[in-house]
Amino acid sequence: MNPTDTPLPFAELHLHVEGTLEPELVMALAERNAVTLPYDDVDALRRAYSFTDLQSFLDLYYANMAVLRTPEDFADMTRAYLTRAAAGGVRHAELMVDPQAHLVRGVPLEVVLEGVTPVLATSEAEHGVSTLLFAAFLRDRPEDEALEVLDRLVAAGAPIAGIGLDSAEVGHPPSDFTRLYARARAEGLRLIAHAGEEGPASYVTDALDLLGVQRVDHGIRSLDDDAVVERLVAEQVPLTVCPLSNVALRAVDRIEDHPVLAMLDRGLNVTVNSDDPAYFGGYLDDNLAALERSLGMTADQRARLAANSIRSSFLPAARRDALL
């Protein structure tokens, strides 16, 4: 047996639950909810899963959400992800959901939470995958709107472990969201944010210094600035890197050029994640397989990535230690 085939428990730390909506499920939910989509069949929709940058992906990602109408829709999507992730070796998942993306199209918070929450609550028993949920705020919308949604989530007792920041990055710096993160911190919530996916290395520094994030989603553009890299190494800031996503959105030209293993060997605390697996060509295990195939990832590198993922999770110590 190839030693790199040895199953190791992984935590998936960068996953948008709406990004797990496979084309087949999009079409099935469109039919169930009588939503008209501009695609004749699954193959036509699948052909649209081809992107030139982050925005071209976001346009389709938000458009496809039109099929998510009822709690059952959100539950079916979440369950499908957990089933697939478990089969690929994921034992813990920290999922982001985008409340504003549903609110703006008239789907209330309650519908989203009623669908997602019970499936997450039974995930460890049903799939062997423990979970935490993060509310991600859309950085291309106003901070005041995010603050209002955060207040409603807190008032509703929504079972969120923390907050994130996603959507179009360039031109929407961390400095626009200092009040949101201060409020979340005061609520005792965990803090993460996308930074350095398409945006500059300074956004990574600002996410740390102005928002106080405990983990950075993506962070690959940190490599443009040695001082930022040195700081991230010194502080062992977790970076949730998403190789297939970066290639699909052309942040990196080819998987053979992906820096994730070089980042690991430089001492950065990197993890591998799928981001939006339905859109970017695969789940966590597919990302790992691509790194083995195209970058010659060794068993030792794989084991370090697995350990980094468990250690960089927000799991309670008992389960974290059990998975290590």
Binding residues: 14, 16, 194, 275-276
Site string for Zn ion, 272-301 (x = CB under 5 A): ---x--------------------------
Task: State both tokens at 291.
Answer: 């790194």
198 is an interface residue for Zn ion by CB under 5 A: no
- How many CB atoms lie under 10 A from the CB of residue 188? 8
Total site size for Zn ion, rule CB under 5 A: 1
Gap between the Cα atoms of 309 and 313, Å rounded: 6
Q: Is 194 in the site for ligand HPA (CB under 6 A)?
A: yes
12 binds ligand HPA (CB under 6 A): no
Reduced to 3 states (helix: H, G, I; strand: E, B; else coil), residue 63 is helix
Angle (CA) 80 84 86, round 5°: 120
240-279 residues near Zn ion, rule: CB under 5 A: 275
Nearest to 245 by CA among 9, 7, 12: 12
Q: Which of 22, 276 has the CB closer to ligand HPA? A: 276
Shortest spacing between CB 15 and Zn ion, in angstroms: 8
Find out whether 167 and 139 touch, Cβ atoms under 8 Å. yes
Q: CB within 8 A of 225, min separation 6: which ones? A: 201, 202
Residue number with CB closer to ligand HPA (218 or 302): 218
Is residue 73 within the footprint of Zn ion (CB under 5 A)? no
Rounded to the nearest whole angstrom, what is the least distance from the CB of residue 234 to ligand HPA in the complex? 26
Q: Which of 189, 124, 129 is nearest to 157 (CA)?
A: 189
18 binds Zn ion (CB under 5 A): no
Q: Residues 13, 16, 120, 229: which binds ligand HPA (CB under 6 A)?
A: 16
Residue 197 known to be catalytic = yes
- What is the signed CA dihedral for 62, 146, 111, 157, rounded to 10 degrees? 150
Q: Which residues bind ligand HPA (CB under 6 A)?
A: 16, 19, 54, 61, 166-167, 194, 197, 245, 275-276
